[in-house]
Amino acid sequence: MNELVKAFETRKKEAKKAKYLKVKQNYKHAVDVPKGLYEKCPKCKETVNMTHMKKTLFTCKHCNEHFRMRAVDRIRLTVDSGSFVEKGLGFITLNPLFNEGYDEKIKSYQERTKLDEAYIYGYGEILGNPCVIGVMDSYFLMGSMGSVVGEKVTKSFEYAIYKQLPIIIFTASGGARMQEGIFSLMQMAKTSAAVKQHSNQGLLYISVLTHPTTGGVTASFATLGDIILAEPGALIGFAGPRVIEQTINETLPEGFQRSEFLLEKGFIDQIVDRKEMKQTLSQLLHYHKKVMG
């Protein structure tokens, strides 16, 4: 345990020097996806102009394939301009199992994504409707949930309770973060309990499942929304397709574990196109507005 405390103190000192707030303000534009000016759409193989991605809401203009999006872009496209205030800052990810290379990995993702972790949340308004909005970023270590993500998700629910607001969470995650071992697993219980607390207050929780949402996130807060929406074509499931294929020793049918499949099986309320998302969310928020007095 002494070793853990020592590591803890080292990270604390380093983090003090790092100045997270400044890093965040340097955010410019999307990472990873647009490697060149023109890219081939992975679905229809047509050429897509990546510089116009924001205009097309990060979808393919030929086949409407929904590409992955950064959390910051998602927030900009979802909430009213200027209304978002990020909360829950200043968290520092630690390495409880002393996994070799994990500290470096976190640092490199922080540099690449300009985020401190795979989840951001805060206050926002959608067409004038106030809410708490949280977004997972799959570009940060596959959006996996470790101690910090679990804590921030929990805090976002607690913030929503404190403000008596509805909450919307966009999920995108490969599941629990293996590098943090049992601590990651326990975040599933922690976040689910936080959803319950929020729900007990009679408040609305909308979860929006985006590509990909699997593992420990699917098996906790992602599937606990009062209303569960999904983007078209998103991979959503508990076990990953490869694990299932290895277990049952056959290839999986086309469209298995995609949004359309889940809709058919009765696990999501609606598939919402990205173009319609903001409108749909604002309408749902409007329906649940608390009448004063």
Partner 1 sequence: MNILDKERKLKSLLTQLETMEDDILIVSIKQKIEDYKHTAMTNLTAWDRVLLARHQNRPTAKDYINYMCDSFIELHGDRLYRDDGSIIGGIGEIDGIVVTIIAEQKGKTVDENITRNFAMPHPEGYRKALRLMQQAEKFNRPIVTLIDTPGAYPGIGAEERGQGEAIAKNLYEMSHLKVPIIALVIGEGGSGGALALGVADQILMLENAIYSILSPEGYASILWKDASKASAAAESMKLTSYDLEELSIIDGIIKEPIGGAHYNPTQTFEKTKQTIIKELLALKSIKQSDLLQKRYQKYRKIGFFQRFNYDNLGGIKR
Residue carrying the six token digits 């972790």: 117
**15 vs 41, beta carbon nearer partner 1:** 15
State which residue, 33 or 63, has the beta carbon closest to Zn ion. 63
Q: Is 186 in the site for partner 1 (CB under 8 A)?
A: yes
The single residue among 62, 76, 275, 290 that binds Zn ion, judged by CB under 5 A, is: 62
Residue with tokens 């049918």: 253
Q: At which residue do the structure tokens 């990873």 appear?
A: 32
Does the footprint of Zn ion cover residue 63 (CB under 5 A)? Answer: yes
Tell me which residues in 218-247 interact with partner 1 (CB under 8 A).
218-224, 237-240, 243-244, 247
Q: Which stretch binds partner 1 (CB under 8 A): 32-40, 184-192, 269-277, 284-292?
A: 184-192
Of the ranges 22-30, 36-44, 57-65, 130-138, which one interacts with partner 1 (CB under 8 A)?
22-30
The Cα–Cα gap between 101 and 204 comes to 40
CA-angle at 80, arms to 171 and 121, nearest 5°: 35
Sign, CA dihedral 251-255-259-263, equals negative
Q: Among the candidate windows 8-16, 39-47, 86-94, 274-282, which touches Zn ion by CB under 5 A?
A: 39-47
Query: According to CB under 8 A, which one of 154, 156, 173, 282 is a site residue for partner 1?
Result: 154
Residue 143 interacts with partner 1 (CB under 8 A)? no
DSSP secondary structure string for all residues of 214-254: -HHHHTTGGG--SEEEE-TT-BB-SS-HHHHHHHHTSPPPT
Query: Which of 42, 108, 189, 275 touches partner 1 by CB under 8 A?
Result: 189
Asked if residue 141 lies in contact with residue 103, where contact means CB atoms within 8 angstroms, the answer is: no
Selected from 11, 24, 43, 163, the binder of Zn ion by CB under 5 A is 43
Euclidean distance between CA atoms 95 and 5, whole angstroms: 11
173 scored as a contact of partner 1 (CB under 8 A): no
Question: From the centroid of its chain, how far is CA 175?
Answer: 11
How many CB atoms are closer than 10 A to CB 80?
15
173 sits in which H/E element? strand 167-173
Of 1-20, binders to partner 1 (CB under 8 A) are: 1, 4, 8, 11-12, 15-16
Of 64-72, 101-109, 127-135, 150-158, the window that binds Zn ion (rule: CB under 5 A) is 64-72
User: Applying CB under 8 A, does 171 fall inside the site for partner 1?
Assistant: no
Distance of CA 118 to the CA centre of its chain: 7
Residue 162, binding choice from Zn ion, partner 1, none, Cβ under 5 to 8 Å by partner class: none
Q: Is 280 in the site for partner 1 (CB under 8 A)?
A: no
CB-based contact 118:149 (threshold 8 Å): yes
- Picked from Zn ion, partner 1, none, the partner binding residue 192 (CB below 5 to 8 A depending on kind) is partner 1
For residue 107, the 8-state DSSP code is H
Angle of CA points 216, 217, 219, to nearest 5°:
60
Is residue 182 at the binding interface for Zn ion, with CB under 5 A as the rule?
no
Between 65 and 137, name the residue whose CB sits nearer to Zn ion.
65
Q: Which of 4, 37, 44, 252 binds Zn ion (CB under 5 A)?
A: 44
Whether residue 66 contacts residue 44, with contact meaning beta carbons closer than 8 Å, is answered with no
Binding residues for Zn ion, per CB under 5 A?
A: 41, 43-44, 60, 62-63, 65
